[in-house]
Amino acid sequence: MNAAVDIISLSPRVRSFIGQPHQALIDGRWQAAADGKTFDVFNPATEEVIARVADCKKADVDLAVAAARKAFDGGPWPSMSPSQRGKILWKIGDLILENLEELAQLESLNNGKPIGVARAADVPLAADLFHYMAGWATKIEGTTLSLSVPYTPGAEYHAYTRREPIGVVAQIIPWNFPLLMAAWKLGPVLTAGCTVVLKPAEETPLSALRLAQLCLDAGLPPGVLNVVTGFGESCGAPLAAHPHVDKVAFTGSTEVGKLIVKAASNDLKKVSLELGGKSPNIVLEDADLDLAIPGASNAIFFNHGQCCCAGSRLFVQEKRYERVLEGVSDAAKKIRLGPGLDPATQMGPLVSKVQFERVTGFLKSGREEGARTVVGGNRYGNSGYFVQPTVLDGTRENMRVYQEEIFGPVVTVTPFKDADADLIRRANDTVYGLAAGIWTNDMRRAHRIANKLRAGTVWINCYNIFDASLPFGGYKQSGWGREMGHEVLNNYLETKAICAAI
């Protein structure tokens, strides 16, 4: 344990948890990787090692999938009454809330996010997702159908559909909201009656391991949830390609999403994907700037810009351009950077060295391509993966910083003349289609623009509003399927049509 972690008073339970060996969960038992190897997990604020975790590879994936297969094909979970399943899901939500402080500290330590955000958002939203899903367990319904078969005149049929669990599901998740992403995936897959092998991101496996223990404590039978910790290529890839997995659900980069599709295509596994974004955030001239300026700042800087839906392309109508540019730049300057576990911190470090190099590489490319850095543009401090909140002006449509997902605290601000078809074209001019924002007091216009944006979520006079009941996901290369809401259950259910002649 290092001194830098000590100064921020971790609770004794968190201290004891991170100090223990971190093994994979397979068939209800915690076990080391088959080859005994581990990998290091870091505190991104200090670059120091905080834990060692089982380095699972194909052999471990095989065991985990076999356990999930056994639990699905013969175990009690898929056949348990929906009401009993719902009670276990509800209990998981309760246990998350009972362990809120521990989970928030773990998340902040490992991911770098401000402890206040983890306490107020990540952990309660994760609990709420399980509570919301618990209610759906008893409400998964088919339909009855009246048939008109032309070649059997006069015949009568009793025809109906059943929604059945899809089977063994591989879930691969990222590091930006480690606990919440695990909850978004596990809540619906368990509600549907599937069994799972979950692979958290190698940067941030700790809160998912803690959550898995809470799931066992809540009464989840062995083998229903298996967790393998490891790297993308050596653990994620064999999981996505495994012949005994029925479905892969992935959240992460569009680049890896494409690899997942290829891996799953061998045996045509079902796939759902929640991928990247380069979301337009549009401020019209009649907007209330007291809302729009902090709103646009939050849209990009929340979670250090490490959000797939970050409002990273800010469009401002000409008359208000200077004022909004100045306002967002001032807000960026005032953001207080520091370790996530310092309660005064408003923005922590990026999650890893790789991300740090990626984001600072984009900043360099923006400068080289001729964008003007209004504020930020550099690393912050000399240690830890901190990057200054950055506002770029004078970008052009062909610049990398304008087109590519940076996944860091970097926003491009560009003016537009009229809220017309050209604005819509520019807002939609990206391979992504995850989210968008509109700031205006003209609600008729806001809804008309919302209808034309090719994005899975449109926020009007707000941004980054998430709720278990609001479906979230992407158009275009931002993904397939939706997370949350009752729509997410479609990712994990098959429809069976049954037709009986009567």
6 in Cβ contact with 50 (< 8 Å): no
Q: How far is the CB of 260 from ligand ADP (least distance, A)?
A: 6
- Mark out the alpha helices in 302-419 (DSSP H runs): 321-334, 353-369, 400-403
State which residue, 170 or 190, has the beta carbon closest to ligand ADP.
Answer: 170
Q: How far is the CB of 403 from ligand ADP (least distance, A)?
A: 17
As given in the structure block, the two tokens for residue 385 are 């993966």
State which residue, 50 or 237, has the beta carbon closest to ligand ADP.
Answer: 237
Q: How far is the CB of 200 from ligand ADP (least distance, A)?
A: 6
Q: How far is the CB of 34 from ligand ADP (least distance, A)?
A: 19
DSSP state of 335: P
Q: How far is the CB of 492 from ligand ADP (least distance, A)?
A: 19
User: Active-site positions?
Assistant: 274, 308
Site residues (vs ligand ADP, CB under 6 A): 172-174, 199, 201-202, 231-233, 236-237, 240, 252-253, 256, 259-260
Q: Which helix (H) or strand (E) holds 319?
A: none
State which residue, 260 or 292, has the beta carbon closest to ligand ADP.
Answer: 260
381 in Cβ contact with 287 (< 8 Å): no
**Which residue bears the tokens 């930020």?**
376
3-state SS assignment for residue 354: helix
In sequence order, what are the residues at sequence separation of 6 or more whose Cβ sits closer than 8 angstroms to the Cβ of residue 3?
none
State which residue, 103 or 245, has the beta carbon closest to ligand ADP.
Answer: 245
Q: How far is the CB of 250 from ligand ADP (least distance, A)?
A: 7
Nearest CA-CA partner of 439 in 334, 294, 308: 294
State which residue, 83 or 266, has the beta carbon closest to ligand ADP.
Answer: 266
404 in Cβ contact with 412 (< 8 Å): no
State which residue, 158 or 262, has the beta carbon closest to ligand ADP.
Answer: 262
What radius of gyration do the chain's Cα atoms show?
24
* Alpha carbon distances (Å) from 115 to 123, 182, 204, 207: 11, 19, 15, 14
In sequence order, what are the residues at sequence separation of 6 or more whose Cβ sits closer than 8 angstroms to the Cβ of residue 409?
300, 301, 304, 305, 332, 347, 359, 376, 387, 388, 389, 390
